[in-house]
Copies of this chain bind each other. A is one copy, B any other.
């Protein structure tokens, strides 16, 4: 049997099993956006890591070195945001062919640095190695969070409202535009979608806001698509979820791109992933106040997209029909 058959989540489970129980200072191990460690200081330590592989996560013919630098750290910062944390430091390893131009690496680290500093994070170490294969970048991002104010995946309760922080499907639409540059979309809309895909903005402020609110029962960032990511929240919380197709926030630019390409914008929103918006659950009676505060304090529009229900799995209600969309989305090795 090979990894194609086992799948990404099967491999994670293989790595996760057969370890002795964690010592007491581990507040959260594998199974959330970040690991959480109590170091004995006043703040909890958050750690997350993401590996990006050329040809899988990015293509150098459709992404500049600067954008790659931004993206490498942004996808990790998004995991810190999903826990309600504040970014502090990162460690970055890169494996590169020896014939890569130095100018490429200069622009790459410029993007990495700009994005890191924008969110208050510094580079503290890493590794630089040569590779006979594709460019591979691994980032470990550290952050801090106040005890009692960390957002986990496992607290969603029956009856909770499911919300998202911004439009879904934009990243996939941006990717499609890169692959089909001939699509006749107005330049400013193209630019918007490409930006959403190439240089995502981690929801650090919103994450901190949600953590301090004290009313969010579960949260994560949308990296694999709402269908897949909501499935994680359901599994960790022991609940099910129903979302309404017509409530999903899709940008007009995303819808138009899908129309021009004769593709399905809803699929992009459900399964496209990499939007790096936050997905979270809140008891319904807290929603109005929370949504208003987010709009007033941060200028962020929260959108209700469904409800947490008894049972398991994720169901989509679309035009009077119910579809099971549990766990669909991007999977490595499959």
B-binding residues in A (CB < 8 A): 1-6, 8, 10-12, 14-16, 18-20, 22-23, 26, 29-30, 34-35, 37, 39-43, 45, 47-53, 55-57, 89, 91-103, 105-106, 109, 113, 117, 122-134, 136, 138, 140, 142, 332-333
Interface contact B89-A37, CB-CB below 8 Å: yes
Give Cα A10 to B122, complex, Å.
20
- Tell me the number of copies of this protein: 2
Interface contact A138-B93, CB-CB below 8 Å: yes
Give Cα A20 to B113, complex, Å.
10
Interface contact A96-B3, CB-CB below 8 Å: yes
Q: Pick the residue among B37, B134, B332 that contacts A133 (CB under 8 A).
A: B134
Interface contact B15-A109, CB-CB below 8 Å: yes
Interface contact A20-B93, CB-CB below 8 Å: no
Interface contact B3-A127, CB-CB below 8 Å: no
Interface contact B125-A95, CB-CB below 8 Å: no
Specify which chain B residues have a CB less than 8 angstroms from the CB of A127 in the assembled complex. 49-51, 138
Q: Pick the residue among B29, B45, B106, B129 that contacts A53 (CB under 8 A).
A: B129
Q: List 13 A–B pairs whose Cβ atoms lie within 8 Å, in order of A's numbering.
A: A3-B97, A3-B105, A19-B117, A37-B124, A49-B91, A49-B126, A49-B138, A51-B136, A53-B95, A55-B132, A57-B129, A98-B332, A130-B333
Interface contact B3-A113, CB-CB below 8 Å: no
Interface contact B2-A124, CB-CB below 8 Å: no
Closest to A91 in B: B49
Interface contact A133-B133, CB-CB below 8 Å: yes
| Extra contacts besides A1-B102, A47-B125 (18): CB < 8 Å | A1-B103, A3-B96, A8-B130, A11-B128, A26-B89, A26-B122, A29-B122, A30-B123, A35-B124, A39-B39, A41-B41, A49-B126, A53-B132, A53-B136, A55-B132, A130-B332, A130-B333, A132-B133
Q: How far is the CB of A23 from chain B (nearest CB, A)?
A: 8
Give Cα A53 to B332, complex, Å.
19
Q: How far is the CB of A134 from chain B (nearest CB, A)?
A: 4
Q: How far is the CB of A305 from chain B (nearest CB, A)?
A: 27
Specify which chain B residues have a CB less than 8 angstroms from the CB of A12 in the assembled complex. 128
Q: Pick the residue among B23, B89, B100, B332 that contacts A3 (CB under 8 A).
A: B100
Given A39-B41, A93-B51, A140-B49, also A122-B20 (CB < 8 A): yes
Interface contact B125-A48, CB-CB below 8 Å: yes
Specify which chain B residues have a CB less than 8 angstroms from the CB of A50 in the assembled complex. 93, 127
Given A15-B123, A48-B125, A109-B15, also A131-B53 (CB < 8 A): yes
